[in-house]
Chains A and B, each alone.
Chain A
Amino acid sequence: MEKWPDNKAWFLVLPVVVLVCFSAIIPLMTVVNYSVQDILQPGMGFFVGTEWFERILHDERLHGALQRQVLFSLTVLLIEMPLGIAIALALPTRGWGVSACLVLLALPLLIPWNVVGTIWQIFARGDIGLGGAAVKALGLNYNYTASATDAWITVVIMEVWHWTPLVALLAYAGLRAIPDAFYQAARIDGASAWAVFRYIQLPKMRGVLTIALLLRFMDSFMIYTEPFVLTGGGPGNATTFLSQFLTRLAVGQFDLGPAAAFSIVYFLIILVFSWVFYQALEGMGKGASK
């Protein structure tokens, strides 16, 4: 029997190809297109090669924003991960308390991001905000609109308040999935509470914690709305992170070329960081998720 190419399968993948084209590939290529051209007016652009990339990579403002961004993400991760795990361990395992705690935990996650910013903007105010006034009453000179340190602390606390519940919920789900027999076996072995955590709970939670870490990293690295509402990136540039810097470049100054070049660099940074985190966690305690 003669073999003839059957191309019908292509028709089946066509819808997906079209969808991906419009949702991802074409927008991305547009950005790539902008990043290598100097566009003076619609339909009139000149190829400039890597000029925008070079300019953006030497931009002091970008360096500052990137440093702040990395410091912010690391700070937030270092607080949220252990805190989330600790909360998950402290949650009740049965009874009505479970649902009550889960609902309370989930509340911050349900609030729209700009509302979170507004809540904290008012909450942290020294004159009328409960939190701000309380700190002032302790005798501390606190003002997040004037002091860079205060602004930082406020943004970090807001982020921790907003997103630690996600880590806690994921860790809790991981903990609940551990069969009771593991704890019994540990008791028979005479294992300490620390050994149970270190050698049973932590390895068993590795899968969900990897997801939590990646989600939290990517989200915190792209943070925009909350600090924008709370501090507007100030005082000065103290809380201007990468997203906000990009927005100023693209929307504020309408420098589409450099903004596009920067978008691509931003995308690559997140990709590389996520890949490194993932690889590191994969290597750590291999096969532990089973």
Chain B
Amino acid sequence: MSLALENVGKTVGHETHIADIDLTMEPGRFYVLLGPTLAGKTTLMRLMAGLDRPTSGRVLVDGGDVTGTPVRKRNVAMVYQQFINYPSFTVYDNIASPLRRAGLSRDEVDRRVRESAETLKLGNLLDRLPGELSGGQQQRTALARALVKDAGLLLLDEPLVNLDYKLREELRVELRQIFSRRSAVVVYATTEPSEALIMGGDTVVLSEGRLLQHGATHDVYHHPASMQVGRSFSDPPMNFIPGEVVGGEAWLGGGRIRLPLSGHLAEIAPGRYSFGVRANHLGVVRNRQDDIAFAASVELSEISGSETFVHVDVDGTAWVVQEEGVHSLGLGENIEVFVNPRNVYAFDANGWLVASPPRPGAREAAE
């Protein structure tokens, strides 16, 4: 089934939760809803499911208007952040419940329950009650219950958030495989840019109830349409600094950083811009010949795993530098930071993308 939202909005009292969303979703594809907490991801999912009625706009399924159709008459499955299972049912009965309500024969129910239990590695836990399972197993049960239905629309609202790191990685990989075999519209909400990148598919970036950008995940990542998308779809958020293009050079931060206008930046007209660069494209050591160095003072340096995140002050603007390896940098220390012009984004005065670096693959091919 295909799902289309036409100009959908939702206001509660005087608060706008969702505004003017236009979105078409194709069957068999995977959509990531990316946005910070309170961006409206859950609200939008509830509208897609039919749990809530939009206050404006229409919801279409396969071209037919279902805006007023209650959720029980739609073919929808949903998985939540919390582990939602019937507490007094065994894993088997939990998975079987949507099928039994649909009135399927015993054999058919049994076959499909065992099949989806197998997919989610619950085969030996079918007699247990949810209370006797670990968090990961409980969420697997909830996922199996959603998958067994063969719903045309499968909504996953941050399903892995309450699991520990290891389990999350494991389930994420499995889910990607399971979804790739489905013909449903799968929508997966997350707050983490890295999760969106791992899951692939399409990404819909939401912020404060508005749709900022929609496209193939890697396109959105490499060509964020606006500064807001750049901020949302980077962890840590993309670094920005105001600058000016004059006489074949871009002067950033009042001239502290001077970039030659080459490559993708060659075409931009003189004027004022905001320049953006992701933390992983900044370094405290020189990587390439044409790296540009500039001075910055260290405000904080934190080590995460085998990487160092250095928070620096560049002409009054706070930036984060992500550097491979463990570096110890003292507070207030003046250091040199390196940036390569080929990784710099330019946004106009309204925050819209003007120039973005070519995709990594394309760049490699050009060299």
Contacts and interface: CB of A to CB of B under 8 A. Distances in A.
* Interface size range on A against B: 20 to 34
B77 interface: yes
Contact of A200 (B76, B86, B129): B86
B76 A188 contact: yes
A286 B131 contact: yes
B357 to A, nearest CB: 41
B71 A188 contact: yes
21 contacts: A179-B80, A179-B84, A181-B80, A182-B84, A184-B46, A184-B80, A185-B78, A185-B80, A188-B49, A188-B76, A189-B98, A189-B101, A199-B89, A200-B86, A202-B88, A204-B87, A285-B87, A287-B131, A287-B132, A289-B87, A289-B131
Interface residues of B, number: 23
Q: Which of B76, B87, B97, B130: most chain A Cβ within 10 A?
A: B87
A129 B297 CA distance: 84
Given A187-B51, A189-B101, A203 B86 contact: yes
B72 interface: yes
B82 A179 contact: yes
Contact of B88 (A179, A188, A189, A203): A203
Contact of A187 (B72, B101, B129): B72
Given A189-B97, A189-B101, A203-B88, A288 B80 contact: no
B81 interface: yes
Contacts of A15: none
A73 to B, nearest CB: 27
Given A189-B101, A290-B130, A203 B87 contact: yes
Contacts of A290: 87, 130-131
Contacts of A139: none
Nearest to A290: B131
Given A203-B88, A288-B87, A188 B78 contact: yes
Interface of A: 179, 181-182, 184-185, 187-191, 199-200, 202-204, 285-290
A184 B87 contact: no
Nearest to B78: A188
Given A188-B78, A190-B72, A288-B129, 16 more contacts: A179-B80, A181-B81, A182-B84, A184-B46, A184-B78, A184-B80, A185-B80, A189-B97, A189-B98, A199-B87, A202-B88, A285-B88, A286-B129, A287-B130, A288-B131, A290-B131
Nearest to B51: A184
Interface in B100-142: 101, 129-132
A74 to B, nearest CB: 25
Contacts of A203: 86-88
Contacts of A288: 87-88, 129, 131
A199 to B, nearest CB: 5
Contacts of A189: 72, 97-98, 101
B89 A181 contact: no
A179 B78 CA distance: 15
Nearest to B132: A287
